Amino acid sequence: MSSAAGPDKEYGNTVNRETFRTSLDFLNLESISRSLICQEDSTIYCLPERAQYGYNAFIYEADAFAEDGLEGSLVEHVVKESEMFHAKLGRFESASERPFFPKELPDMFLPPNQCVIIDVNHKMWDVYFQNLLPNLVKEGSDGFYASSAVRDANCLLAISKRVHTGRFFAESKFTANTKEYTAAIKAQDKEALMNLLSYPKVEENVKERVLMKAKKLAEEAAYKIYPSLVRELYARWVIPLTKEVQVEYLLRRLS
Ligand SMILES: O=C(O)C(=O)C[C@]1(C(=O)O)C=C[C@@H](O)C=C1
């Protein structure tokens, strides 16, 4: 039997969509936190992978393939095509998995009436390309265009998933303290919600933990990143966006 037959068979026999959907116990704060810590590794480890290549401005040129009749940059194509493929597998049935290019996906691959859809990917895209990438890579081109574009797509996917996991935190916090949250939601009071869901000490722990992980990685990895950059990414963007997802989710929670 060929080696490819094994995993296919196992997939068909043991994993169904329901298993995927319920694999995250979204009402248990501890299990969501554990999932977040795992995702931390993905968001940190993808960075040196991208940092091994130069900036490669060509892959961000919007009209690079105009002669071939294609609109958009190489990196956009990589993200769109991978989302098309992932959509066929049902990736976007999970509420924490948001596509960057939902309009490019056939409707049949998007969940028809997923309760509340929160999506901050447009902000994530800008943060990644404007704030993170220029500090992550060397200036100039080294010709590794496709490799760089694929690494960009991997980083975007990992960070986006982490940020959108916020909605599970929000649901969990709402369930644990329904009375107070309900009052703030009815008043549509963003500030009150932000105060209720924020745990400054936990945030400090997260920032310290990612700094430590990045320091360890910087010692071990062949491609260097600055550990402080990872801490800053979390402090300035990842945690605030995760909280924004929570507030936006809660504002719509009772409608
Ligand atoms: O741990 C939580 O309760 C979260 O909501 C996650 C998170 C984070 O993004 O790391 C966000 C808000 C809290 O203030 C603490 C941490």
pLDDT band for position 121 (cuts 50, 70, 90): very high
| Residues contacting residue 175 through CB under 8 Å, at least 6 positions apart | 27
More confident residue, 226 or 10: 226
The per-residue pLDDT for 9 is 31
Average pLDDT, the chain: 86
What confidence category does residue 112 fall into, taking pLDDT thresholds of 50, 70 and 90? Answer: low
Q: Please count the other Cβ atoms lying within 10 Å of the Cβ belonging to residue 123.
A: 14
Q: Is the pLDDT of residue 3 over 70?
A: no
Nearest to 125 by CA among 91, 164, 159: 159
pLDDT score of 22 more than 60:
no
Q: Whose CA is nearest to atom 16 of ligand 1?
A: 203
pLDDT classification of 111: cutoffs 50, 70, 90: low
Nearest to 79 by CA among 94, 59, 64, 52: 59
Partners of 54 in the β-ladder: 138
Q: How confident is the model at residue 20 (pLDDT cuts 50, 70, 90)?
A: very low
238 Cα nearest atom in ligand 1: 9
| Closest listed residue to residue 127, CA positions, set 38, 233, 14, 250 | 233
Instruction: Give the number of other Cβ atoms within 10 Å of residue 12's Cβ.
Output: 9
CA 144 to ligand 1 centroid distance, Å = 36
Distance 227 CA to ligand 1 centre (A): 21
The pLDDT value given to residue 226: 92
User: Of 6-20, 40-54, 120-134, 199-213, which gets the smallest average pLDDT?
Assistant: 6-20
Task: Give tens-digit pLDDT for 159-181.
Answer: 999 999 999 999 999 999 999 99
pTM of the model: 0.87
Residues 6 or more apart whose CB falls under 8 angstroms from that of 177 comprise 196
Q: Per CATH, which fold does 25-251 belong to?
A: Chorismate Mutase, subunit A (1.10.590)
Q: What ipTM, to 2 d.p.?
A: 0.99
For 33, the token pair is: 């936190």
The answer to whether residues 153 and 78 touch, using CB atoms and an 8 Å cutoff, is yes
With a 6 Å cutoff on the Cβ, whether 154 touches ligand 1 is no
| 116 CA → ligand 1 middle, Å | 20
Q: Which amino acid is at 176?
A: A
